[in-house]
């Protein structure tokens, strides 16, 4: 320095980095926001929630309030709720709790409008039930019933009788005569038992007829269908041993014949669900397999899958075998589903020779797989519609029988009510499909309502339809949203129009 004294070092106050100051301010601000959230007890004593508590109970309202407050804390932590809008959030607490309560107490399983044109849509619950089935379910569920009670004798009965009598009537002209030596044209009796789905039916049959022994099946039939259900895996679970014959595309009856040994317990035919093999192919007929099984004293079973009791050629569908076809060809046991082409509830049926069906019924596995009174009620009502030949009473069959012209008229009527400057609407020809693994190559001519919007993509459009009340499930193809009214119930047309108009206004 100029006065000759030694220079002293300069000391500056230690400062936090700027980012540290900002972080401390933000932490303090968040702490203040947390403190402004009301306590649960204070909320429950508020006049605004008194009505909700009276209506839904204090426990349910408490849970809803906790959920709403937890969501607000998450928003504060994430920085999406700050001091500028916390007051708005707090003033809307009663409404938010009301919405949360309604969401928590509403059903997760809800009706939708199926506008896809897929009649047996697995993801949408497959076959809708007939009104008579719904009424019969209500009757069986609302009070006691004679599920396993013989009213005539007062003794314990069997739940099978409620539908077996109807299956016997419907399949009376289908049974094979090959095993009994009866006069051709006079069918043997056919018995039926019911389990919870077709996979269970296959499992029960294989476990009963082939546990510890070999089951011969073509390599071209080792299929996988929805839900990762694979024939080789269910066979392993049943205790049966898989014996593959033939190749993927060609299997002859001689392949089965060469594979038969003292270990063989069953010959199995599997319906090719959801796919086709075309080109250089070969497959023995059911009659050829039945003849071989008879000569070697082995049972022959078919996993039919869909199980039509309705003549599909009446609606232009060919190549899809029905239960009658399989039994007439000489099958000993046929397994099939209740909620596919039959048009009833989810169930798995085993129909065939009474002595084989009796063995399956006495298997302890049957009790684990049997169905309840509600399934029997729905199935009985569905089968009665077949007995009465009232096919239009069964929704899936009615949809198959709907004409292109009738569908087009309904589509035009909806189109006339959907005028919008922001939407391009047109009718076009298209195809509906059966779905559910049935008749994979078959299609039904239909008319489609096609919609495009310059303001959103087709996927965004379809998502907004799914957000409707009720949700509308549509198809998206080539940048367009397509609605097929074949699978929309006529009484849903008004709801469909309301959802579309509501979406167009927003």
Residue 377 and residue 265 share a domain: yes
How far is 325 from 323, CA to CA, in rounded Å?
5
What CATH number does residue 466 fall under? Answer: 3.90.1150.110
The DSSP symbol for 15 reads -
How far is 191 from 165, CA to CA, in rounded Å?
9
Give the residue from 390, 417, 446 where a domain finishes: 390
Determine, yes or no, domain membership for 243.
yes
Q: Which of 59-68, 190-199, 301-310, 433-442 has the lowest mean pLDDT?
A: 433-442
Residue 155 and residue 61 share a domain: no
DSSP 178-212: TTTTPPTTSPPP-EEEEESSHHHHHHHHHHHHHTT
Q: Which residue has the tokens 């684990």?
A: 368
Residue 334 and residue 187 share a domain: yes
Residue 31 and residue 159 share a domain: no
Note every long-range contact of 105-113, with CB atoms under 8 Å and residues 24 or more positions apart, other chains counting: 105/56, 105/60, 110/470, 110/471, 111/470, 112/470, 112/471, 112/472, 112/473, 113/470, 113/471, 113/472, 113/473, 113/488, 113/492, 113/495, 113/496, 113/499
Give me the pLDDT at residue 311, please: 86
Mean pLDDT, the chain, whole residue set: 86
Q: To which H or E segment does residue 445 belong?
A: strand 444-452
Note whether 486 and 402 are within 8 A (CB): yes
Residue 243 and residue 144 share a domain: yes
How far is 309 from 33, CA to CA, in rounded Å?
66
Output the CA torsion sign for 435, 133, 374, 383: negative
Determine, yes or no, domain membership for 2.
no
Digit-coded pLDDT (tens) for 96-108: 999 999 989 889 9
Residue 89 and residue 135 share a domain: no
Q: How many residues does the chain have?
A: 506
Note whether 64 and 101 are within 8 A (CB): yes
Residue 438 and residue 335 share a domain: no
Could you give the number of structural domains in the chain?
3
Residue 165 and residue 73 share a domain: no
Note whether 289 and 253 are within 8 A (CB): yes
Q: Is the pLDDT of residue 3 over 50?
A: no
Q: Is the pLDDT of residue 168 over 50?
A: yes
How far is 243 from 262, CA to CA, in rounded Å?
13
The candidate with the shortest Cα–Cα distance to 335, out of 194, 216, 239, is 194
Residue 271 and residue 184 share a domain: yes
Mean pLDDT (whole number) for 268-291? 77
Of 422 and 234, which is predicted with more confidence? 234
Residue 67 and residue 162 share a domain: no
DSSP 248-292: SSB--HHHHHHH--TTEEEEEEE--TT----SS-B---HHHHHHH
Note whether 377 and 139 are within 8 A (CB): yes
Determine, yes or no, domain membership for 408.
yes
Give the residue from 390, 417, 451 where a domain finishes: 390
76 has which bridge partners? Answer: none
Determine, yes or no, domain membership for 100.
yes
Mean pLDDT (whole number) for 333-339? 95
- What is the separation, in whole angstroms, between the first and last Cα of the chain? 78
Of 81 and 16, which is predicted with more confidence? 81
Give the residue from 390, 414, 430 where a domain finishes: 390
How far is 60 from 139, CA to CA, in rounded Å?
32
Determine, yes or no, domain membership for 193.
yes
How far is 341 from 395, CA to CA, in rounded Å?
11
pLDDT tier for residue 278 given thresholds of 50, 70 and 90: low
With a threshold of 0.85, does the pTM exceed it? no
pLDDT tier for residue 305 given thresholds of 50, 70 and 90: confident
The candidate with the shortest Cα–Cα distance to 145, out of 165, 161, 164, is 161
3-state helix, strand, coil in the chain (%, to 5): 45, 15, 40
Residue 464 and residue 316 share a domain: no
How far is 372 from 394, CA to CA, in rounded Å?
21
Q: Is the pLDDT of residue 344 over 90?
A: yes
Pairing of strands 475-477, 191-195: unpaired
Q: Is the pLDDT of residue 22 over 60?
A: no
Residue 144 and residue 48 share a domain: no
Q: Which of 23-27, 216-220, 476-480 has the lowest mean pLDDT?
A: 23-27
Q: To which H or E segment does residue 336 belong?
A: strand 333-337
pLDDT above 90 covers what percent of the chain? 62
Three-state SS string over 79-134 comes to CCCCCCCHHHHHHCHHHHHHHHHHHHCCCCCCCCEECCCECCCHHHCCCCCCHHHH
The candidate with the shortest Cα–Cα distance to 434, out of 322, 312, 338, 328, is 312
Give me the pLDDT at residue 236, please: 82
Q: Is the pLDDT of residue 6 over 80?
A: no
Rg (C-alpha) for the chain, rounded Å, is 32
pLDDT tier for residue 27 given thresholds of 50, 70 and 90: low
Mean pLDDT (whole number) for 83-98? 87
Determine, yes or no, domain membership for 363.
yes
Q: 33: domain range?
A: 26-104
pLDDT tier for residue 182 given thresholds of 50, 70 and 90: very low
Digit-coded pLDDT (tens) for 140-162: 999 999 999 999 999 999 999 99
Cis peptide before 63 (omega within 30 of 0): no
Give me the pLDDT at residue 251, please: 86
Q: Which of 163-172, 311-320, 321-330 has the lowest mean pLDDT?
A: 311-320
Q: Which residue has the tokens 């309904």?
A: 410
What CATH number does residue 285 fall under? Answer: 3.40.640.10
pLDDT tier for residue 173 given thresholds of 50, 70 and 90: low
Q: If you average pLDDT over each of 24-28, 41-45, 294-298, which comes out highest?
A: 294-298
The candidate with the shortest Cα–Cα distance to 178, out of 287, 69, 285, 272, is 287
Give me the pLDDT at residue 274, please: 54
Determine, yes or no, domain membership for 146.
yes
């Amino acid at each position: 320095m100029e006065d000759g004294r030694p220079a002293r070092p300069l000391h500056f106050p230690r400062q936090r980095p700027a980012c540290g100051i900002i972080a401390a301010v933000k932490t303090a601000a968040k702490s203040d926001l947390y403190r402004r959230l009301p306590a649960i007890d204070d909320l429950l004593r508020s006049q605004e929630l008194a009505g909700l508590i009276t209506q839904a109970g204090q426990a349910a309202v408490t849970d809803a309030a906790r959920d709403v407050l937890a969501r607000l804390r998450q928003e504060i932590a994430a920085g999406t709720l700050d001091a500028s809008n916390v007051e708005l959030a707090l003033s809307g607490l009663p409404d938010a709790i009301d919405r949360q309560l309604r969401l928590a107490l509403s059903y997760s399983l809800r009706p939708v409008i199926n506008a896809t044109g897929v009649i047996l849509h697995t993801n949408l619950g497959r076959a809708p039930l007939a009104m008579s089935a719904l009424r019969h379910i209500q009757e069986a569920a609302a009070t006691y019933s004679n599920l396993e009670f013989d009213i005539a004798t007062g003794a314990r009965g069997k739940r099978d009788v409620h539908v077996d009598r109807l299956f016997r009537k419907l399949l009376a002209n289908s049974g094979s005569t090959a095993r009994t030596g009866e006069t051709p044209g006079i069918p043997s009796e056919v018995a039926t038992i019911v389990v919870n789905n077709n996979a269970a039916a296959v499992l029960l049959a294989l476990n009963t007829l082939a546990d510890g022994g070999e089951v011969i099946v073509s390599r071209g039939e080792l299929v996988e269908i929805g839900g990762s259900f694979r024939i080789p895996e269910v066979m392993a679970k049943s205790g049966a041993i898989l014996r593959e014959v033939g190749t993927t595309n060609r299997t002859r009856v001689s392949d089965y014949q060469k594979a038969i040994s003292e270990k063989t317990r069953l010959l199995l035919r599997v319906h090719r669900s959801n796919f086709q093999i075309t080109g250089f192919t070969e497959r023995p007929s059911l009659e050829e397999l039945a003849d071989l099984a008879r000569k070697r004293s082995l049972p022959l079973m078919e996993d039919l899958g869909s199980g039509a009791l309705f003549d599909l050629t009446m609606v232009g569908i060919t190549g899809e075998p029905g239960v009658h076809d399989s039994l007439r060809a000489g099958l000993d046991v046929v397994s099939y589903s209740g909620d596919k082409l039959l048009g009833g509830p989810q169930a798995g049926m085993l129909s065939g020779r009474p002595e084989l069906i009796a063995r399956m019924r006495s298997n302890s596995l049957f009790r684990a797989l049997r169905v309840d009174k509600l399934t029997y009620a729905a199935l009985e009502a569905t089968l009665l519609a077949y007995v009465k030949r009232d096919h239009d009473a069964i929704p899936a069959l009615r949809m198959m029988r709907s004409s292109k012209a009738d569908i087009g008229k309904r589509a035009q009527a909806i189109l006339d009510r959907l005028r919008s400057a922001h939407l391009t609407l047109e009718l076009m020809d298209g195809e509906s499909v059966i779905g559910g693994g049935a008749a994979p190559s078959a299609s039904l001519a239909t008319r489609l309502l096609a919609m495009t919007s310059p303001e959103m993509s087709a996927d965004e459009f379809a998502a907004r339809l799914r957000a409707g009340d009720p949700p509308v499930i549509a198809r998206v193809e080539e940048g367009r949203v397509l609605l097929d009214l074949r699978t929309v119930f006529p009484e849903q047309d008004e709801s469909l129009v309301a959802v579309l108009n509501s979406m167009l206004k927003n």
